[in-house]
Structure 1
């Protein structure tokens, strides 16, 4: 009998797929589900449509007017985007504590819109890679 042995990569891929299904379809009785419901109430109709269709939504920075894309997730999920909609630099910042994913994303949205410069001061930067696009396709 042949045994199936999954790799860590397969396990991570499965976990991302499960999280994507969860984010997409709710589970409103859980903390993550309720936090995503709250997030959706704070999104504009255009942002809600973006999030539902693509797995991310875009916001305009309150201090500089730069455009940012917030992908579904709790870390390394924010990118500054250029005028053509391409990620130019990744930003990692989040509130303290172990919060549900929707609460993290809502805090990132509010921080960029209301105190963008302070958020940028504390953010760690990273080079956006193809994973940002794969993540959005996975959720979309």
Structure 2
């Protein structure tokens, strides 16, 4: 009986240590650092919008159009109309592979400083998903 208690106590300590390590990595890993850097560059309004909705809006430097940057790395930029409805999707990313926070920061800076050059390189896409046939939409 004594041995099983000791083993259980050691096992509980090991689980607690593993959970502490996992928590540390989540808070200080590359993804978390990239998102912290992004948040430092966001205005208070953009930060609140990002926290509440998972995206933030920027104003283009040349046209004054509004762009909504969603969390992600590819196909995550939408041009929105006056009502806030998606109009056009834009796909542009840095040449190097980067984490989502870093990509979103690069997209923000690019649109706010040289919108015309970015859009000249970007791929357009429809922001609306194609409608599914009625049979697929029906719940079974």
Pair in the same fold by TM > 0.5 = yes
What is the CA–CA distance in structure 1 between the aligned matches of 2:38 and 2:27, rounded to whole Å?
12
Greater relative contact order (CA < 8 Å, ≥ 6 in sequence)? 1
Please report how far the alpha carbon of residue 129 of structure 1 lies from its aligned counterpart in structure 2 after TM superposition. 1.9
Give the alignment's Cα RMSD to 1 decimal: 1.5
The number of residues matched between the two structures is 106
State TM-score, norm by structure 1.
0.73
Question: TM-score, structure 2 length as denominator?
Answer: 0.73
5 Å matches for 1:1-140?
Answer: 27-129=26-128
Structure 1 runs (4+) greater than 2 angstroms displaced: none
- What is the CA–CA distance in structure 1 between the aligned matches of 2:111 and 2:62, rounded to whole Å? 8
1:27, distance to aligned residue in structure 2 (A)? 2.5
Residue deviations 1:2-34 (CA, integer Å, cap 9, x gap): xxxxxxxxxxxxxxxxxxxxxxxx923111110
CA distance in 2, matches of 1:87, 1:27: 32
Gaps of 5+ in 1: 1-25, 132-140
- In 2, Cα distance between equivalents of 1:122 and 1:32: 27
Larger radius of gyration: 2
Structure 2 residues not aligned, in runs of 5+: 1-24, 131-140
